[in-house]
Structure 1
Amino acid sequence: MNRQKLAGVITMALLLPLWSSPVEAVYHADSDTGINALDYIENEHRQAKANRLTPEQEKLLSDAKAMEKNLRYPVDPKKAAPVAFEGEELTYDERDGSFMAKGKVDILQMDAHRFQGEMVTGNTKTQDVSIPDKAHILQMTPGQIRVTLDGYKAHYNYGAKTGSLENAKGKAGAHYITGKRFEFYPDRIVIYNGTDSKCGAQKPDYHTSAEKITYYPNDKIVMEKVKFHLRGKVIFSRDHYEAGVGSNADKTDYLPKIGYNEDDGLYLDWGLSFPVRKNVNFNTNINVGTQIGWHSNYDITWKNRGMSTGVRYGHYEDGDNFWIKKQPSAFWNYNAHFGKSHFTYGLNAEYGRWYGNGIHSNHGEYGVSLGHDPIKFHRYTLYLKTGYSITKESYNHSRVAGVSGDVVLTKDFNDRWAAYAGYHYSKKNRDNSLFKFNTDDYSKKLESGFSYRIDDLNRVAVGTKYDLDHKKWKNIDYYWYHDLHCSQLILRYKSLENGFSIRWQFTPW
């Protein structure tokens, strides 16, 4: 057998066709001062932190770029990306294409893949690569999700783009994943007996487990026989569960929140969603408090593209802790862009039986809105929206019709400082409305505030609301956010009311 030392660059593609983006965490403030205008900035900062490169990821990108510079011939984009092998012993049989590498083997692919192991075998003609013992896999390919996996018995065919990995664990994007077996296909990844969590603890505070998990890049994740775990306990399970990923991601949170405020007392707030059929979900928001009792709500919603419709029933609370009970109420919403422009429009309608303040009324509300996608310039972001609505009540035969307008400007100064200011107008207010729910007792208001990140774990903020109709401050609220390992504590002080509230929630999903 003619054997020779393996030298130079062998052209092969060791690709992992992983999903391009997981469901990302979404932070949402609990406020009636407009401070949620900073949510987008906070989410961007959290995303930047989650996407921060590790030293080995930085090295992989650097090595791939250096490899590209050192190539002596142009790379054909239609062919597999070049690969370089390093090891203490490298051999290659040119007759049948087989090769073997031993001793701290490092396989670098120019499209930013890295395979490492103590022994690697393969064949350039059949396009197979195998790591029979422990394997370390790193992926930083542009357009693909960042992946770091440690497992055993890795096998990959870079021609067919199929492969497998056993008893693996690691990280995909911001998600920590494990699985007894991974199978890779051109259009999907299948994980058997796997887990998924955004909590990086050795024993995660929360995670999902499933007998079978299938990821479809930029489309969806499908789980079979899935269980949702919290603090080591199964809180509920489903035979089948689907969620969008990438551009189809539906940002939801299945974890409960616990808090205290003077209006509700000690409370539990838990939002859950259960699929009924395609595009149809049964949603419930369980809210139980020591002072309010059982104040939950439910809805069945059909949603497709920019349209949603359904029926709601139960108690609903606004940012000022005003409650309304819908017994029930039907709704319809549609939101879209004008062609391919940045201008948006929305249509909405709701009609049903409302109860609040000891009053029952058939409540109807109809509206149209016009807006523009967020306008970014020099770390500023401008939000513009206007609309027209009509509200009718059977109780007193009232009709309130008029325009509304919102102009909000945010500024992301740096990683620590952010601020916002906004002007809001609404013809509808508590003076001309039957119910106090989701309305102010004035039409014109200014909202402003800022946040400051002290360190990676602590952030403070101030949110204010000013009544322009009566020329007086309505809210000056102070917030402290403290990140724990996989959860967050939020303390809020409403200075003009001398009231405290506290909320504890797991890291937003």
Structure 2
Amino acid sequence: MKVSNKILSGLIVAALCVPGTVSAATYRSDSDTSLGLLDYLENEHRAARDKQKVTPEETQLLKDTAEMAKHLRYPVDPTKAAPVAFEGDDLTWNQATGDFEAKGKVKITQLDNHRFTGEDVDGNTITQRIHIPGKGHMMQLTPGQTKVLLDGYETNYNYKDRTGTMERAKGQVADSYMSGKRFEFYPDKIIIYDGTKTKCSAQHPDYNLYAQKIEIYPNDKMVMHHVKFLLKGNVIMTKSKYEVDLTKDQNPTDWLPRVGYDKTNGVWVEQSYHTPVAPHVDANLNLMYTTKKSWRNDVNMGWSNRTVYTRVVYGYFDDNDDNWLKKEPSLLWGHNRRIGHTPFHYGINGEYGRWYQNGIRSNHNRYTFGISRDAITFAGWRLHLSSSYEVTKESYDDSTVRGFNYDAVLIKDFDDRWSGYAAYRYQKNNTQNSLFDFDNDSFSRKIETGFSYRLDDKNRIAFGAKYNVEGSDWDKLDYYWFHDMHCSQLILHYEGRDNTWKVKWHFLPF
């Protein structure tokens, strides 16, 4: 479901996000106890575990090339091919022509962590090419290149030029499971024709992306042309072009439907669509149907670069307490950047629009100036500090709320299973002095704390709590169980204070 984000919490969350980690939208709690901060840490752990997964054959290749390095000198000239070792049950080589044939269990290993295996292999050592006419296996663990573990047919490769082809191939490319009618390998890219991509490791994935042509540029981007999203083999939607920046964290699971249940909305189904319009410009449509509140859709379009953004939104939005509000429409804008070479960041953010809730319509005008600091680390803890001055005006009752907000958050990874946090927050706006209850508590001073624990590869539990300092009682006690299934995830959420359950089901990232 759509969840709003408080500005100061957003500043801290942004500080936690670094390129290469998985988006927290992938595995996300919807508690307003700041438990989402630990979702980011869990996603970092997942990404690290994925990178550390090494198969026995990968270990053997690295061991073999390390042994080769003891006896062979890697060329100083990077334009030259890495030294190659040939192994086979029956090897024949013509020294004059360079032609060779190898039969049986054949291995061709390059010192740069490249290996081809097959039953029958031929080629030429002068032109530095190999040919596997039948089924072949390719491993590419070369530093700086895309990781490749493929099985295919009719393999041709020139290990001097680092170019080649493989037909009807299937396996792992980078962090995805991919297949294609034809793979083409170049020093700076991989091209796949009639290819599929998924992160579902099942033999028959529940979902994947199909594209007529896929281009993968290592540590840069992946471009897919004439794309179809397939769910159980059925075409759900199509795109003429889909591009992923591999240096950033992008998660296309919003293409997939999400299903859930909670007391306020009943059973709900949500589907999102994202469309690039122009450089730095995108449009988004979120469709949501609930059995208790009917349709709750929203649409938005915006422009952004590294430091500035502006976005127009229209439709229904809910917060973590299931308070719905309609924006008819609203303009969001902001400018956020680091202050010189200091550890400090500043942000100027605002919103102006027409808000509607519970029969009340008001021109809502909010603007905020905030300052945050890079994390202060000590003894494994990370301390995040931020403050802002916020002004909110409403036309309905001609009211104005202004004042400072403060955040101090401690976060720690105890190990790759345990993580915890504690936070003190002061937010001037609350339901007592604001026209709308959207994204507001009934008190200003609060303490938040919680933990996350991964039971095993498929199960994680988490707990988040919020304490009302002014009322001296616990306002929120949220319990979560995240369970990874075949290619999807089930999230059970029990709200201890309200004694209610929420259930959410969504696909894992692909």
Distance 1:218 1:298, change over 3 A: same
Deviation for aligned residue 1:205? 1.1
**CA distance in structure 1 between the partners assigned to 2:380 and 2:66 by the alignment:** 30
Q: Which residue of 2 aligns with 1:11?
A: none
Letter in 2 for 1:329: S
SS of 1:47's equivalent? Answer: helix
Deviation track 1:33-79 (CA, whole Å, cap 9, x = no partner) reads 211111122102211332211111122222222221233x4642534
**CA distance in structure 1 between the partners assigned to 2:343 and 2:157 by the alignment:** 44
Distance 1:377 1:486, change over 3 A: farther
Deviation track 1:350-389 (CA, whole Å, cap 9, x = no partner) reads 1111111211111111122222344555543333322222
Whether contact under 8 Å (1:21, 1:173) holds in the other structure is no
SS of 2:146's equivalent? Answer: coil
Q: Which residue of 2 aligns with 1:198?
A: 199
Deviation for aligned residue 1:506? 1.0
Q: Which residue of 2 aligns with 1:497?
A: 498
Q: Which residue of 1 aligns with 2:345?
A: 344
Q: Which residue of 2 aligns with 1:6?
A: none
Distance 1:27 1:341, change over 3 A: farther
Q: Which residue of 2 aligns with 1:470?
A: 471
**CA distance in structure 2 between the partners assigned to 1:190 and 1:65 by the alignment:** 30
Whether contact under 8 Å (2:74, 2:82) holds in the other structure is no
Gaps of 5+ in 2: 1-18
After TM superposition, the structure 1 = structure 2 runs for residues 353-364 of structure 1, keeping only pairs within 5 Å, are 353-364=354-365
Q: Which residue of 2 aligns with 1:213?
A: 214
After TM superposition, the structure 1 = structure 2 runs for residues 216-227 of structure 1, keeping only pairs within 5 Å, are 216-227=217-228
Whether contact under 8 Å (1:22, 1:175) holds in the other structure is no
SS of 1:96's equivalent? Answer: coil
Deviation track 1:413-441 (CA, whole Å, cap 9, x = no partner) reads 22332211111121222222111111211
Q: Which residue of 2 aligns with 1:43?
A: 43
Distance 1:269 1:378, change over 3 A: farther
Distance 1:43 1:298, change over 3 A: same
**CA distance in structure 1 between the partners assigned to 2:301 and 2:134 by the alignment:** 50
Whether contact under 8 Å (2:492, 2:503) holds in the other structure is yes
**CA distance in structure 1 between the partners assigned to 2:306 and 2:101 by the alignment:** 51
SS of 1:454's equivalent? Answer: strand
Q: Provide runs of 4+ in structure 1 moved above 6 Å.
A: 20-25
Distance 1:359 1:81, change over 3 A: same
Deviation for aligned residue 1:138? 1.1
SS of 1:126's equivalent? Answer: coil
Whether contact under 8 Å (1:357, 1:435) holds in the other structure is no
Q: How many residues align?
A: 488
Q: Which residue of 1 aligns with 2:5?
A: none
SS of 2:260's equivalent? Answer: strand
Letter in 1 for 2:503: I
Q: Which residue of 2 aligns with 1:327?
A: 328
**CA distance in structure 1 between the partners assigned to 2:127 and 2:336 by the alignment:** 51
Q: Which residue of 2 aligns with 1:63?
A: 64
Do residues 80 (structure 1) and 87 (structure 2) align? no
Deviation for aligned residue 1:303? 2.5
Q: Which residue of 1 aligns with 2:418?
A: 417
Gaps of 5+ in 1: 1-19
Distance 1:61 1:374, change over 3 A: farther
**CA distance in structure 2 between the partners assigned to 1:493 and 1:265 by the alignment:** 15
Whether contact under 8 Å (1:112, 1:141) holds in the other structure is yes
Letter in 2 for 1:143: G
Percent of aligned pairs sharing the same letter: 49
Distance 1:507 1:429, change over 3 A: same
**CA distance in structure 2 between the partners assigned to 1:116 and 1:375 by the alignment:** 50
After TM superposition, the structure 1 = structure 2 runs for residues 222-233 of structure 1, keeping only pairs within 5 Å, are 222-233=223-234
**CA distance in structure 2 between the partners assigned to 1:249 and 1:167 by the alignment:** 30
Do residues 506 (structure 1) and 507 (structure 2) align? yes
After TM superposition, the structure 1 = structure 2 runs for residues 278-297 of structure 1, keeping only pairs within 5 Å, are 278-297=279-298
TM (norm. structure 2) is 0.90
**CA distance in structure 1 between the partners assigned to 2:174 and 2:74 by the alignment:** 31
**CA distance in structure 2 between the partners assigned to 1:23 and 1:416 by the alignment:** 17
Distance 1:217 1:373, change over 3 A: farther
After TM superposition, the structure 1 = structure 2 runs for residues 95-174 of structure 1, keeping only pairs within 5 Å, are 95-174=96-175
CA-based RMSD? 2.1
Deviation track 1:441-475 (CA, whole Å, cap 9, x = no partner) reads 11111111112222222222211000112211101
Deviation for aligned residue 1:24? 7.2
- Select between 447-456 and 372-381 the one with higher mean Cα deviation: 372-381
Deviation for aligned residue 1:96? 3.0
